[in-house]
Each structure stands twice: as structure tokens, then as C-alpha cells.
Amino acid sequence: MADASAQPRGVHLVGSAPVASAEALFRLAGPILGRHVRRLPDGETGERLSWILWQYPVLANHPLLEVVAPDPFARPSLPRVRLRAGATGDELVFERLGYADAALASFETF
């Protein structure tokens, strides 16, 4: 069991932050977390704030994938795609998903 009097030694941030931009997150978190954080993600702001939904256009427009009806029992009801008939996962290649571009842009801001 952890010692209740022990002070935290660090902070680990993961995922989205409800702020307007990577710059806003850096300005907000930097002064508060400063010496406690080793890595500061950009907060997946802007179009990436909605988790994987920002990838929907990439998936929906891929020639080996097709859009299928959302699961009516899932909450929230998210759009779905699947491999087209006859396609295999081995053939599925994505040229650009945007993650590297977003990382480079936020690093430049940082």
C-alpha cells in the first residue's frame, strides 16, 4: 500500500483537453504542472477533440472500406465502416492519417 504522506513525483497527461488549441493547453498546463510533467501532449484540440471521429472522412473515403449503419444500441451511436466484400486487411493502407502533421504543428507551437 502506498504511503499516504508521500508526495506525487510526476504527472502523466493522456488524451484530449477541452481547450481551444495546443497553445492554449501549453499556456494553461505549463505554469501549473511545470516541474511535475516530463511530457506535455497537445491536448488533441480542434478537430481531433472528438477522439477518433476526426478520422471518419479518411475511413469513409477509403476504396477498400464501406460505411455501414451505426449500432442502434451503442451510446453514443458512432459511425462505422468495414472492409468491402473481397477486401483483406493485408491490402489496407493509409497514406496520411494526420497524426504526424498534428504532432509537428503542435511541437512547432511548443
In a domain, 103, yes or no: no
Cell of 52: 477518433
CB neighbour list of residue 49: distance below 8 Å, 6 or more residues apart: 16, 18
The parent domain of residue 19 ranges over 13-44
Amino acid letter, 27: R
Tell whether 71 is covered by a domain.
yes
Let me know if residue 67 belongs to a domain.
yes
Q: What is the pLDDT of residues 80-94, one digit of tens each?
A: 999 999 999 999 999
- Each residue of 46-78: pLDDT tens digit? 888 777 788 999 999 999 999 999 888 887 778
Q: Is 106 a member of any domain?
A: no
- What pTM was computed for the model? 0.65
- Number of structural domains, the chain? 2
Residues 57 and 39 grouped into a single domain? no
